[in-house]
Amino acid sequence: MENRTTLVRSIRPTIKVITEKSTPIEVFQSNSLRPILKLQNELILTIFNNYILDNKIQFIELKEDKKKEFIFHHFKNNQPSKIFYLGIIIGMFTTEEYTFYSTNKQEINKRITTMLIERLNSQLEKISL
């Protein structure tokens, strides 16, 4: 039986990035976070859409700038939701990645949150269909 690290890495999409002259956190973002967020994209969209529907938010009626503002505030002000999304990403880490994450938690959490916001903002047409 294959080990967890091999299995987890095998299901992630490959993203070509240049990591020369990058800090260790930038390398982690490129080699770990981006592929995980891409892999989890459909789940992220589904969870966000369910939040919109469950809370009866008329998201589709908002103008684009208000949608982006709503997404930003959702991640900045809704701690339980933010923690839930972080768990979806962290749960896809290998043991080695988690060890790195645990020593850089604050910075990596900021990066994950920023990337989640950017990901949702770039797919507004798929939210609250």
Residue-wise pLDDT for 11-25, tens only, equals 888 888 777 788 999
**d(Cα 112, Cα 33) in Å, to the nearest integer?**
7
Q: Which residue ranges make up each domain of the chain?
A: 26-126
124 vs 10 pLDDT, higher one: 124
Q: Is the pLDDT of residue 1 over 60?
A: no
Q: What is the pTM of this model?
A: 0.90
pLDDT over 80 (residue 129): no
